[in-house]
Amino acid sequence: MSDKYETITAAGGRVVAITVDSPPQNSAMIEKLGLPFPMLSDPDRSKAIRPYGVSDEKDPREIARPAMFVVTPDRRVVFENVSTDFADRHAESAAIEALQNLDLPPTGPERVESANPQPGPKALPLDAMEPYYRGAKFAGVALRMRHPEIADDLTRYVEQMDRYLELTRELRQ
């Protein structure tokens, strides 16, 4: 995480996450994962989630679909990657490349303040994340064998779980 974050700030970028979760839940996530960037709360989805078209209307929770945007200082969107659903997450490399192509001056690290961290009722503790991702990975492997018609999606999902496993192991060290 820190290498990618440093690459982004060196390219003049800032990272901000936007969720439907409450500020205390976001603080708990920042603390648990050691995130070097702020997480903003948009619980009614009116500030960024719906305006950027990332509210998942098919999901009864109307959570935000994972998305990455590169927005210029004059507020133009020059890169957009919106996932199909909550489980579809793309690597950051294309967004980083788009940001590097803007040739902006480097930014400094963000100061992230956590206030009253309170994990949500379904938040996984850090020590449960590795077994969870390992189980999700092998479920994807099994489904790929059963359903060759969606093998490409499942291969990407399994690769994503491998990435999450690696990041979780780094966090635990």
CATH 3.40.30.10 fits 2-100, yes or no: yes
Distance CA 165, CA 170 (A): 9
Q: Domain boundaries in the chain?
A: 2-100, 126-172
User: What pLDDT, in 10s, does the model give residues 79-101?
Assistant: 999 998 878 888 888 899 999 99
pLDDT at 36: 84
Q: Which of these, 36, 27, 49, lies nearest to 9 by C-alpha position?
A: 36
**CA–CA distances in Å: residue 81 to residues 6, 37, 75, 105:** 21, 19, 16, 24
If pLDDT is split at 50, 70 and 90, which confidence band does 7 have?
Answer: confident
What's the whole-model pTM score?
0.76
pLDDT at 92: 86
**Alpha helical stretches, state H, the chain:** 2-10, 23-33, 93-100, 126-146, 151-172
Distance CA 37, CA 35 (A): 6
113: pLDDT strictly greater than 80: no
